[in-house]
Chain A
Amino acid sequence: MISMRKFGVGAAAVAAAVGVFAELEVDARAQEYSDYATTGARKRTFESPQHFAFELRIGRYTPDIDSEPGIKGHPYQDVFGSMPRAMVGMEFDWQVLRIPYLGTLGPGVGVGYTSMSDKAYITGSSTKSGEDTSLDIFPMWGVAVLRADVFYREMHIPLIPYAKGGLGYALWRASNSAGTSEQPKEGGVVGKGHSWGTMFAGGVALSLNPFDPRAAKQLDNATGVNNTLLYLEWQVLALNGLGQSNALHVGTSNWVAGIAFEF
């Protein structure tokens, strides 16, 4: 019930944020067109309306499990080693508000997946068995995204710095060759659960449009994609159990790179 309540509160917060952004959006659009008229900025007549961004991402991932308070030793590192694993993910942003001479602001949601697997040790031995032990993590986040595309739009510098901040959440599951892990000595506590936390990120995106404006225009005409971007981001996914009494610290701080489309 506690978890349900927390999830409900989180969902309500996201919904409220979406509603606020939605109301702001209409005014923002009107202002956007007005800006073009009053400031005399060169309006790119070929461009279709732009309201969203979609990101595909890949990055390193090393969960902070061993930093959990009360943990003795390094259970994660002992089993899976210190080599970071790869995380793949995607994010969908709604660019609700356009702030003149700055960029866009709006909510975004993202989901990722990472998994780590290795052979389990034989009990009381330093010899590895043939049995696999794995940890799967589905990190998710709901964030506000500010993209400062003023440099690109007004100064034609194809770099767009951006920042994100909001709530993070992850579902995770520990498993072995027989399925989801259990700890029979403790009454069969199953190795799966969820962890709340925060997510902050900052990065810079490089617009590919200036490298081939003709192709960019054709892409826009054909699909409505205004901007194709490559980006590099430092992500702090602090999934350390925000408000939870016991949570597996599956968050991480790592570099993430990917490709994004604004449309």
Chain B
Amino acid sequence: MSSRLRRRASAIFGSALVVPVAFAALLGAERAARAQVGAPTITVNPLVTRNDGNGASSAIRPQNLNPTGISFSDCELDQTLNISLSLSAYGADGHLEAWVGGADCAPGTARTGTTAVCWPVNQHITSASVLTVPVRVRDIVAHQTEPTKPTTYTPSGEEACHVQSQSGPVSLGVYFLWLVGATPDAASSASYPVKADMQGPGAPTLTSVGQGDGLLLVNWNSVVDPDTSGFTVYCDPPANGVAPPGGSTPVSDAAASADGAAPLYVCRDGGFLDAGFDDGGVDETGDATPPQPLPPIPLDGGCTLENPPVSPSNPTSGSCSSSVLVAGGGTTTTDDAGNTTSTGGTQRLIDPAYICGSFAGNNTNQATVTGLKNQVNYTIAVAGSDAFGNAGPLSTPMCGVPVPVDDFWKRYRESGGLAGGGFCALQAVGMPVEASVFAATGLFASVALFRRRRRRHDRRGADDGGGS
């Protein structure tokens, strides 16, 4: 009996042990199988989207501004790159981290110790076969100039946007590393290349601001900087008359009195013109209003009736100031050949509303800024711009007051001249005038030359006929 019981008990417990043993065997086999898979494959999708610091989607950088680039503006806006990855054949014994550096971050020596050239930008990535890794622009650029790189991730602040002191791009890579256990070298890696250029060209020197009718002619000395691709001219108040919220510069509706003699409404409540001006102003929401009679009292309580900033008889006497357009400083040197070089200086992110003209060409040194209002005292400054869209430190601002002018045509018409109105005679043909002129001359010459050739041909034919 006892032996029967023992046999039955043995059978029962023996069967029960089969399950965990089998499970353990399967688990071991799976682990063995995983161990045999080796390093996972990481693939980076080259299409990277961007969000700004508020999470709003940012436009993909335009092709002409280096689509994979990081500019000062991108950094100031605290953009985040959303980099898509696909991960295959990965195991639970490893994890994914994102590092940035100017060289391959896969070797352990590139991330630790005195030879480190990389720094972490995201160390808490949940593994998945398809995933999107957010990487902040400020984290990417923060430690590029530090001799000792950090080994643990700490979010970087706005100061990261000022680490580059020289203009020109710096090549970096965002490396996605599969790290297993304490092994320093990454089991596998993939990278997304980026170029960071957050320092615009040195500040040009503004030399003069000439007056024109609704325009200003801005002249500056170009700076010798291979990074320069153009120049940006800033106006305060903005050319469209609407300062962004918080703008401290008063915006006067000078067009309300074209001759500049009558008082003007000046609004100091953030720079917004109010609805109701006779030239069609814009209200706080930016809505344009049709021309209306000038109201006895501006609708906006922040506007007051003031004298024009500059009288037309002495248009250059006005002074100007701007809390937005502040000289960036820097060191300017001129070599024996007269080439001016400007280095250093503080660049600021200026609201695009203050841009009143962008002009391509690294040798450009003058521009005509149009769309301005006569008798308004504008503060003008210029900055060089580069291929990344960076605007460098601002030049020392100058003042400019557009004024009505008498060009030749105005004087001719006001002297009693009656000509003008267009090239209707030739434009009706449907060709540009200059083309018509040269086409007519060319036609005449062609007819003449054709006749000359035909005559030669006829003469040669006659000679041949005579000889045969």
User: Cβ of A18: which chain B residues have Cβ within 8 Å of it?
Assistant: 444, 447
Task: State in angstroms the CA–CA spacing of A7 and B411 once bound together.
Answer: 29
Contacts of B416 in A (CB 8 A): 70-72
Q: How far is the CB of A187 from chain B (nearest CB, A)?
A: 10
* A32 sits at the interface (CB 8 A): no
Shortest CB-to-CB span from A71 to chain B, Å, is: 5
In the complex, how many angstroms separate the beta carbon of B114 from the nearest chain A beta carbon? 59
In Å, the complex CA distance between A174 and B406 comes to 12
Chain A positions 242 through 261: 1 when the CB is less than 8 Å from some CB of chain B, otherwise 0: 00011110000000000000
Residues of B within 8 A of A73 (CB): 415
Contacting B at CB under 8 A, from A18-48, are 18, 22, 25, 29
A189 within 8 A of B: yes
- Tell whether, in the assembled complex, residue B419 and residue A247 are in contact, meaning their CB atoms are under 8 Å apart: yes
Q: What is the total of A-B residue contacts with beta carbons within 8 Å? A: 185
Say yes or no: is B418 at the interface (Cβ < 8 Å to chain A). Answer: yes
For residue A184, which residue of chain B has the nearest CB? B410
Q: Restricting to B254-302, which residues have a CB under 8 Å from any CB of A?
A: none
Q: For residue A75, which residues in chain B have a CB less than 8 angstroms away from its CB?
A: 408, 411-412, 414-415, 417
- Cβ–Cβ contact B419 & A193, under 8 A: yes
Provide the bound-state CA to CA distance between A104 and B226, in Å. Answer: 61
Considering only residues 191-233 of chain A, those with a C-beta below 8 Å from chain B are 191-195
Q: How many chain A residues have a CB neighbour from B under 8 Å?
A: 61
Task: Indicate with 1 or 0, residue by residue over B136-172, a CB within 8 angstroms of chain A CB atoms.
Answer: 0000000000000000000000000000000000000
The answer to whether B313 touches A183 (Cβ under 8 A) is: no
The reply to whether B406 and A120 contact each other, CB–CB distance below 8 Å, is: yes
Q: Give the distance to chain B from A67, nearest Cβ to Cβ, in Å.
A: 12
In the complex, which residues of chain B have a beta carbon less than 8 angstroms from the beta carbon of A80?
A: 408
Q: Is the CB of A192 within 8 A of B212?
A: no
Binds B, one of A127-135, A145-153, A155-163: A127-135
Q: Which residue of B lies closest to A179 (CB)?
A: B370
Q: Is A125 an interface residue (CB 8 A)?
A: yes
A131 to B448, CA, bound (A): 45
Q: Is the CB of B406 within 8 A of A123?
A: yes
Within 8 A of B (CB), among A99-126: 109, 111, 120-125
Report whether B405 and A122 are in contact in the complex, using a CB–CB cutoff of 8 Å: yes
A249 to B329, CA, bound (A): 53
CB contacts (< 8 Å) of A70 on chain B: these are 416-418
Q: How far is the CB of A57 from chain B (nearest CB, A)?
A: 14
On whether A190 and B422 interact (CB within 8 A), knowing A125-B313, A138-B437, the answer reads yes
Closest approach, in angstroms, between the C-beta of B8 and any C-beta of chain A? 108
Question: Which parts of B326-382 form the interface with A (CB within 8 Å)?
Answer: 368, 370
| Residue from A52, A109, A124, A130 in contact with B217 in the complex, judged by beta carbons closer than 8 Å | A130
Q: Which of B58-66, B72-80, B423-431 contacts A (4 or more CB under 8 A)?
A: B423-431
Contacts of B433 in A (CB 8 A): 138, 171
Residue of B214, B412, B413 ringed by the most chain A CB atoms within 10 A: B412
The smallest beta-carbon distance between B285 and chain A, in angstroms, is: 30
Please state if B419 and A177 are interface contacts (CB–CB under 8 Å): no
* B452 and A52 within 8 A (CB): yes
Sample of 14 A–B contacts (CB below 8 Å): A3-B424, A51-B448, A51-B452, A68-B419, A71-B415, A78-B411, A111-B441, A122-B211, A122-B406, A125-B312, A138-B437, A140-B437, A140-B441, A171-B433
